[in-house]
A = this chain, B = another copy of it.
Amino acid sequence: MRELLEAVANGSLSPAEAEAELVGYVTGDAGRFDTARQQRRGIPEGIFGVGKSAEQVVELAETALETTDRALCTRLSEHQIEALESALADSFPNATIERRSSTVHVRSPEYEPPSLDVTVGIATGGTADGPVADEAELVCLDAGLDVDRVDDVGVAALDRILDQLDRLREADVLIVCAGREGALPTVVAGLVNTPVIGVPVSSGYGFGADGEAALAGMLQSCTMLSVVNIDAGFVAGSQAVLIARAIDGARD
Contacts and interface: CB of A to CB of B under 8 A. Distances in A.
**Complex copy number for this chain:** 8
A128 B48 CA distance: 11
B248 A246 contact: no
Given A127-B32, A217-B213, A180 B247 contact: no
A207 B213 CA distance: 11
Interface residues of A, number: 80
Interface string A217-235: 1111111111111111001
Interface string A23-45: 01101000110101100111100
B209 A226 contact: no
A9 interface: no
Given A216-B213, A223-B156, A186 B183 contact: yes
6 contacts: A41-B189, A126-B222, A195-B239, A207-B211, A216-B217, A227-B228
